[in-house]
Amino acid sequence: MPSKFRAALVSVVMLFCALLPATASAVTSTQRDLNPRYTAQSVPSDELFEEQWSLADDSLLGVQSAWDVTTGGSTVVAVIDTGADLAHPDLRDNLWRNPREIPGNGVDDDGNGFVDDVNGADFVNRDGDPSDDNGHGTHVAGILAARGANRVGVTGVAQRARLMVLKALGADAVGSAETMAEAVRYAVANGAKIINMSVSGPGRSQAFEEAVQAASDAGVLMTVAAGNSGHDLDVAPEYPAAFPASHVIAVAATGRSGKIIGISNRGVGTVDIAAPGQGIVSTAKGGDYEIRTGTSMASPHVAGALVLLSSARPDLGPDALQAALLGSARRGVAVTTGTLDVAGAMRRMVSAARWRSAIRASSVRGTSKSKATRARGRAS
């Protein structure tokens, strides 16, 4: 575990203990077990997975159950934020690569105004290098799609995806409506199927709203943070959460109890769904890991879920994906639908036979494991 992360984790270690229940002890080698137990194989090998409470306890979101169907794929998802650490060992293998750009030749091969925009673009400094100079975007990208099962750090909700990194916020994590609008248009033009925007503000920009509406009209799903002002967006709207585009999905933040946390905005008419956003472990600048809290952390959980749904049913359009996501939410909080249920959404997307087959395959892929591994209750 990286030293900086270990130090940061000390103050919150009690929040993350016992995330995985212990499995039954193995019988002795001299006794034949007539009804052996097997361990699910969907749990990734990432070293900090047990600290990821929103994923490690499958009863909360059902992500592990959804992974029995798919862990992701080649869906292109844009993260519009402060950029990302492009060299991070948990992100670099999941980066989108611009097929129309030749890396490192100093030429704007695709003629879009950005030289060498291989993994995305920087709309703040006007270049093709969307490296993160804040850390917010790196954390968001890891929640969404950190590389899973690589024995390093954490895993994203989608273990496999193509992250298009678009830097529209500066080092202070603040961006203009103009840079946000440009980033949205770039994402649509370059084939993003999903966009995550963990941003919020009270100002309503016509240019930004028009870009979001155009993306929605093009069939792009957009997950956005509800904001951290702790108020009702039905009364005091913030944007882009309150934009009326049909494919904007506004996300509130919950804690481990499933209740909306105090800082999170809410609103049954404006905020669509809630997802984990408190004490979330994810990627940090410099190849490290850290814990953050906010609706910025909740939104990429939903984006990652959409990647899984899209990967399971690439034949379906945005309306079907959105309907499955929102229609499966667990009711009981002050948003339009409820809290994120990834397994419930996946069951709506695939046939009953495919769901049963995936779960059955996971449950019978058990092989002999060391006593130490069994005692910890891990699966790999």
Beta strands in the chain (DSSP E): 72-81, 120-122, 160-167, 194-197, 221-225, 248-254, 273-276, 280-284, 288-292, 338-339
3-state SS of 109-128 is CCCCCCCCCCCEEECCCCEC
Q: List CB contacts of 209: < 8 A, sequence separation 6 or more.
A: 239, 240, 243, 245
Active-site residue, selected from the candidate residues 42, 85, 136, 362 = 136
CB atoms within 10 A of CB 24: 8
Asked whether 254 and 262 are in contact (CB, 8 A), the reply is: no
Alpha-carbon span 119 to 188, nearest angstrom: 15
pLDDT above 80 (res 33): no
What is the average per-residue pLDDT within 232-257? 98
pLDDT above 90 (res 3): no
pLDDT per position as a tens digit, 179-206: 999 999 999 999 999 999 999 999 999 9
**Phi then psi dihedrals of residue 241, to 5 deg:** -55, -35
Q: How far apart are the first and last CA of the chain?
A: 18
Residue with tokens 């695709």: 110
Task: Establish whether the linkage from the previous residue to 240 is cis, with ω within 30° of 0.
Answer: yes
Asked whether 120 and 110 are in contact (CB, 8 A), the reply is: no
Question: What local confidence, expressed as pLDDT, does residue 362 receive?
Answer: 63
Active-site residue, selected from the candidate residues 46, 58, 68, 81 = 81
41-45, 304-308, 347-351, 361-365: which has the minimum mean pLDDT? 361-365
pLDDT above 60 (res 297): yes
pLDDT above 80 (res 8): no
To the query of whether residue 109 is one of the catalytic residues in this protein, the response is no
Q: How many CA atoms lie within 13 A of 292 on its CB side?
A: 23
Asked whether 198 and 187 are in contact (CB, 8 A), the reply is: no
Alpha-carbon span 35 to 196, nearest angstrom: 46
To the query of whether residue 198 is one of the catalytic residues in this protein, the response is no
Q: Which residue has the higher pLDDT, 363 or 279?
A: 279
CB atoms within 10 A of CB 203: 9
278: left (phi over 0), alpha (psi -120 to 50) or beta: beta
pLDDT above 60 (res 370): no
Q: How confident is the model at residue 363 (pLDDT cuts 50, 70, 90)?
A: low
Active-site residue, selected from the candidate residues 296, 299, 310, 362 = 296
pLDDT per position as a tens digit, 81-131: 999 999 999 999 999 999 999 999 999 999 999 999 999 999 999 999 999
What is the average per-residue pLDDT within 300-315? 98
Would you kindly state where each structural domain of the chain is located, as residue ranges?
Answer: 3-9+42-376
What is the average per-residue pLDDT within 137-163? 98
Question: What local confidence, expressed as pLDDT, does residue 359 receive?
Answer: 74
Question: What local confidence, expressed as pLDDT, does residue 356 receive?
Answer: 86
pLDDT per position as a tens digit, 319-360: 999 999 999 999 999 999 999 999 999 999 999 998 888 877
Among the listed residues 153, 150, 159, the one whose alpha carbon sits nearest the alpha carbon of residue 6: 153
Question: What local confidence, expressed as pLDDT, does residue 42 receive?
Answer: 61
Helix (H, G, I), strand (E, B) or coil at 75: strand
pLDDT above 90 (res 9): no
Question: What local confidence, expressed as pLDDT, does residue 321 receive?
Answer: 98
pLDDT above 70 (res 36): no
Asked whether 164 and 145 are in contact (CB, 8 A), the reply is: no
Question: What local confidence, expressed as pLDDT, does residue 14 receive?
Answer: 31
Q: What average pLDDT does the chain have?
A: 87
Q: pLDDT over 90 for what percent of the chain?
A: 81
Reported pTM: 0.85
Alpha-carbon span 293 to 263, nearest angstrom: 9
CATH topology of domain 3-9+42-376: Rossmann fold (3.40.50)
Q: pLDDT over 70 for what percent of the chain?
A: 84
Question: What local confidence, expressed as pLDDT, does residue 358 receive?
Answer: 81
Alpha-carbon span 310 to 137, nearest angstrom: 23
What is the average per-residue pLDDT within 218-224? 98
To the query of whether residue 311 is one of the catalytic residues in this protein, the response is no
Alpha-carbon span 259 to 31, nearest angstrom: 46
Q: Which residue has the higher pLDDT, 290 or 9?
A: 290
Alpha-carbon span 259 to 268, nearest angstrom: 14
